[in-house]
Amino acid sequence: MTQNDTLLDPSQYPDKDVYGVVGNPVAHSLSPLIHHQFAQQAHQNILYGKLFSEVDLFEQTVDTFFSKGGKGLNVTVPFKLKAFHVCARLTERAKAAGVVNIIWQEDGQYVGDNSDGLGLVRDIKNSQFIINKKNILLIGAGGAVQGVVLPILDEHPTLIVIANRTLEKAQQIVQRFSSQAKQVGTTLRAISLDHLEQEKEPFDIIINGTSTGLDQVSPLTDSQVKSLTNIPAQALAYDMVYGKTTVFMRQMQEQGLKVKDGLGMLVEQAAVAFEVWRGGNSRFELNTKIVLASLSQKVNT
């Protein structure tokens, strides 16, 4: 696919509602495949494509898309923070995340939402794992982790520990969500990754929210993994990176944990966007499991 194939122009499709994903790069995106299947399931007359933007022209790219009749955009790297600042109105999820991955217009203003955290929670629950009253370890303190804390808190876990190489960044997230954690009775605290081996709490779900999987490295050393000896037998290790068995996942498999990559999260967060754009899930039921199965075949072939 060339860059010219990712110059989405809604004015060329007057008989359809046009949506897309904007990024740089964006040619690799699986989002059109996902939304095409959702549109078929829900009998929605939409077209969903890929939109490339130069890094310094994001706002102009978004303005052009909507001025030509576009209805909504998903936002991927490296524009989620820029999208946050472009939006005049933000949902509570977007405010909590500090980044935006869904944009649409209301009364001529951009509205921003973030579905990453809800997508993660839905995928974990679809995998028959319970978050309520469980202990959660979140590795990392970037936008990915920040975006999932509130949706995880909404499930009322007993404990969330945020472990990061730079302790101060993890502490900032804890401070940001301390009131919400208190409201639901969740203990929320930060530790340095260097001190992970001193952690005594058993974790039911361990989530890698760093991008280390893209580079085939793990955020944890082998000794850190082995120090987590009191992991429950039915624990889950989840890597937000998708399409590969990461080093982190292999480490956790060796410890006897069930492992999962982020492909289901991608599908579920796309479902949230589709529901937001097309009037809510009360209008239709999306079968995300079928979409995930077809996507898994494509990714693994």
Amino acid (one-letter) located at 227: S
Active-site residue flag, 80: yes
As a whole number of angstroms, the distance between CA 123 and CA 151 comes to 12
Q: How far apart are CA 202 and CA 204, in angstroms?
A: 7
Catalytic residue among 80, 133, 200, 260: 80
Angstrom distance (rounded) from CA 102 to CA 119 = 13
Residues assigned a catalytic role: 80
